[in-house]
Amino acid sequence: MHNRKRMVMGAAVLATAALALTACSPPGGGGSTGGDDGSLTPVTLQLQWFAQAQFSGYYAAVDQGFYKDEGLDVTLKEGGADIVPQDALTSGEADYAISWVPKVLGSIEQGAHITNVAQIFERSATTQISFKDKNITSVEDFKGHTIGSWGYGNEWEIFAGLQKAGLTVDDITLVTQAFDMLGMLQGDIDAAQAMTYNEYAQVLESINPATGKLYQPDEINVVDYNKVGVGMLQDSIWADADRLANDPKYEETTVKFLKASIKGWVFAMNNPQKAADIVTAAGSTLGTSHQLWMANEVNKLIWPSTHGIGYIDEDAWNRTVQIALGTKNETGATIISKDPPADAHTNKYIQKALDELKAEGVDVMGASFQPITVTLKEGGK
Amino acid sequence: MTASTTPTMRVETVPHSGGKTRRFGSRRSARPGRAAAWRRAILGALGIVLVGVAWELYKLIGPEKGFAIGDLILLPRTNDMSMPHIATMFERLAEPLTGASNSIMMWQAVVDASAFSLYVAAVGWIVGVSVGLLLALIMQRFRTAQSAVLPWIILSQTVPLIAIAPLVRRWGAQIQFGDFVWENWMSVALIASYLAFFPVSIGALQGLNSPDTNHVELFRSFGVGWWKTLFRLRVPASIPYLIPALQLAAANAVIGTIVAEVSIGLKGGIGRMVIEFAGAAGGDPGKPWAPIFGAVAIGLIAAGAVGVLALLVRRYRRGETNA
């Protein structure tokens, strides 16, 4: 009898614990910014990665109430290591997604029916950086060197650059790069792949053992893929093509969403420090100077804008598609084998959004944009 | 000693008056006294110190560039970026997280993230253990169920976690009834439970089947039903198998939680922190190590919690067997 009683007691304790645990939600976490206001249209945006100043425009638009002004209740969904934004979009998890054009082109060929409705970043942020003593100032100089690449669809500009320079992957030693820049700092990688807004700063936040001070920009050579002529379109806003075709309400929401997002980016252009602080307040754990650096560098990718922020430049789109069609990676594969469908991109909604914003007096060109000077501290603190 | 007593046979049965069955086993050691407890605590602390000493010693005398055969690095580099001093790691814990004026301290952030991950892992563990026990019971009761389910249970563990994590999140996003909304942390807990149920189902099944045939037949000869046999004979007999299984499940739940956090980018936990801090290795070498301490702490707490649970049922723990 005694045994049984104890066992029943134990089971009861366990069951109570289970109930108690499942009944309440865990401390902290969550990350949804949704409200309960029934009059607002709920919209979910799937980001490519964790909260960081790369997405400062969207965070600023939430923080400053620009989405609310348009009648939208926007939830920003952070990405993760295995989250593919375009998959989240096609599965209906999100209403819009941020992703790079070359990555999405592959998904579209595999059947994803989605549309680029705004090309937020006009320029590519991908570079190949190396210390001055390696003497790598152009893609031609890659020959015989160890070249870092992240893979996972981030590597195409490297291959396009090689192809343009008449080199093949056999002329270089391609190594997979980690999240950190230790490969370059420790000399395993001669020229490392680096985003201007992130990894480049990581190097500048590290101590140069030779000088005892932080690495300086004049100690680093930068190969900018925009200048090489193989820059591919990066962060753009993707929408569900089926819903655009069949749902006038979604089309309307798209224009509103673009308008408010652009206002967020204009805010970030004029207030990089505030934009960085907003992202940090949203839960980013990047160091303060690193965050500001990122906000400033991202602004440089957008402003000054040639046709107005978000407008898809046909030449840039075609160049990206051509590279996706014609560039072979180390296994001989290309991103796509045929031209993407006509509805893979459209300026219909961004044009409407830009027109309305111009009428409101919003500076969508940023012609007078001047980047600020950011002083990085050790470790980006 | 008779020839029939094999060395592995540690349990014998003495039927008491009233048909009550008790199990006796050889104790591995005498009840540990206070001195022994102290010795264990000191040895444990010494073990931790030794790891630290080994780290610093290797850093001191190990090759600066590491030891490599060809391109394969066999021993790590010893510079401050690859192997920061232990002091650096602890100093970093006492510094602010981001440098923003209202930033919390790093150790505080690590404690918060650990608590979050531990909570999610605990939910995953409880769900996983419940499912595992249920499966074991069904398999014990119905032989057909065992043949039908067991291969699937084993197969389930060969599916790579990173493949199912985004799927679970996607399916979860479509669940909504009434006020209940599936949240991302639940996806992570579910993935943790997916790893946790496996050792429990296997261990519990083995445990439930562990009573000797003559014991089972004794019960049958007295006309004892399945339920009573279960609670009086099979469950007590399964405890030595169950405790290690529960410990494995706890470890699996912690690992599952951390990996799934990385995979679907759940905010607030240790897994996400590991990835977020990884980039800082060059400029702030102490930073990526901070969440590692958190992960270690979670593992210790999870194992300790199961240890406390094991104390509650220690009278059944004679002749412990590894699952």
Asked if pLDDT for residue A126 goes beyond 50, the answer is yes
Considering its fold, how many domains does chain B have in total?
Answer: 1
Partner A contacted by B77 (CB < 8 A): yes
Name the phi and psi angles at A16, rounded to 5.
Answer: -65, -45
- Residue A296, pLDDT above cutoff 90: yes
B17-29 exposure pattern, b = at least 16 Cβ within 10 A, e = fewer: eeeebebeeeeee
State whether B100 and A21 contact (CB < 8 Å). Answer: no
Helix (H, G, I), strand (E, B) or coil at A344: helix
For A109, residues 6+ apart whose C-beta sits below 8 A from its C-beta are A335, A336, A337, A338, A340
- What pLDDT is stored for residue A34 in this prediction? 43
Cβ of residue A133 closer than 8 Å to a chain B Cβ: no
Distances (CA, A) of A374 to A121, A176, B276, B322: 20, 30, 22, 58
Separation between Cα atoms, residue A230 and residue A233, nearest integer Å: 10
Domain that holds residue B182: 104-316
**Given this model, what pLDDT does residue B65 score?**
72
Domains assigned to chain A:
41-122+232-376 (3.40.190.10), 126-228 (3.40.190.10)
Residue B72 CA from chain centroid, whole number: 32
Q: What span, in angstroms and rounded, lies between the C-alpha atoms of A130 and A190? A: 6
- Minimal Cα distance from B280: which residue of A? A379
Q: Give yes or no for B312 touching A (CB within 8 A).
A: yes
Closest alpha carbon within chain B to A14: B126
Q: CA-to-CA distance for A204 and A198, rounded, in angstroms?
A: 10
Q: Using a CB-CB distance cutoff of 8 angstroms, which residues of chain A are in contact with residue B279?
A: 179-181, 198-199, 202
- Is B38 part of a structural domain of the chain? no
Hey, are the CB atoms on A198 and B126 less than 8 Å from each other? no
User: For A196-200, B25-29, B122-126, B202-206, which range has the lowest pLDDT when averaged over its residues?
Assistant: B25-29
A27 touching B, CB under 8 A? yes
In a domain? residue B56: no
Q: Which of A224, A222, A219, A223 is nearest to A133 (CA)?
A: A219
- Mean predicted lDDT score pLDDT of chain A: 89
Q: Is residue B278 part of a domain?
A: yes
Asked if residues B131 and B193 have their Cβ atoms less than 8 Å apart, the reply is yes
Contacts of A64 (CB under 8 A, 6+ apart): A263, A264, A267
Beta strands in chain A (DSSP E): 41-46, 72-77, 96-99, 114-118, 126-131, 146-149, 173-176, 191-195, 220-224, 236-240
Model confidence pLDDT, tens digit, residues B150-196: 899 888 888 887 788 888 888 887 887 777 888 889 999 999 999 99
Average pLDDT of chain B, as a whole number: 83
B216 found inside a domain: yes
- Which of A22, A180, A199, A289 to substitute to test the interface with B, most B CBs within 10 Å? A180
Q: Which CATH number belongs to the domain containing residue B160 in this structure?
A: 1.10.3720.10
Instruction: Return the residue matching tokens 């444990």.
Output: B44
Residues with Cβ within 8 Å of B288's Cβ and at least 6 positions away in sequence, in order, are A180, B274, B277, B278, B280, B281
- Chain A hits for B162, CB-CB cut-off 8 Å, are 81-82
Q: Name the minimum distance, in Å, from the CA of B43 to any CA of chain A.
A: 33
Tens of pLDDT along B272-285?
A: 899 888 888 888 88
Q: Which two tokens stand for residue B94?
A: 């006492």
Question: Domain for residue B198, yes or no?
Answer: yes
What's residue B282's pLDDT? 81
Helix (H, G, I), strand (E, B) or coil at A80: coil
Q: What is the mean pLDDT of residues B250-262?
A: 92
Q: Please provide residue A368's backbone torsions phi and psi, each rounded to the nearest 5 degrees.
A: -95, 15
Question: Residue B21 domain-assigned?
Answer: no
Using alpha carbons only, what angle is made at residue B24 by residues B22 and B28, rounded to the nearest 5 degrees? 150
- Predicted confidence (pLDDT) at residue B4 exceeds the cutoff of 50: no
Q: How far apart are CA A176 and CA A192, in angstroms?
A: 10
The set of residues, in sequence order, having a beta carbon less than 8 Å from that of A251 and lying 6+ positions away, is A244, A349
Answer whether residue B81 is part of any domain.
no
Mean pLDDT for the stretch of residues A114-133: 96
User: Residues A207-261: pLDDT tens digits?
Assistant: 998 999 999 999 999 999 999 999 999 999 999 999 999 999 999 999 999 999 9
* ipTM value > 0.90: no
Which residues make beta-bridge pairs with B233? none
Write down the H helix ranges in B209-289: 213-221, 226-229, 235-264, 270-278
For residue B2 the two structure tokens come to: 């008779």
In angstroms, the CA A377 to CA A170 distance is: 39
Round to whole Å and give the CA distance between A172 and A174: 6
DSSP B181-223: E--HHHHHHHHHHHHHHHHHHHHHHHHHT-S-HHHHHHHHHTT
Give the pLDDT score at B104: 86
Nearest CA of chain B to the CA of A88: how many Å?
A: 7
State the CB neighbour count (10 A cutoff) for residue B309.
Answer: 17
pLDDT at A7 over 60: no
| pLDDT tens digit sequence for B27-83 | 444 555 788 888 988 998 898 889 989 989 888 888 777 777 766 766 778 888 888
Flag whether B301 is in a domain.
yes
Contact list in B for residue A92 (CB cut-off 8 A) is 173-174
- Tell if the CB–CB gap between B99 and A10 is shorter than 8 Å: no
pTM here is 0.82
Q: Do B126 and A21 touch (CB under 8 A)?
A: yes
Question: In sequence order, what are the beta bridge partners of A126?
Answer: A195
Strands (DSSP E) along A59-165, which ranges?
Answer: 72-77, 96-99, 114-118, 126-131, 146-149
Model confidence at A119, in pLDDT bands (50, 70, 90)?
A: very high
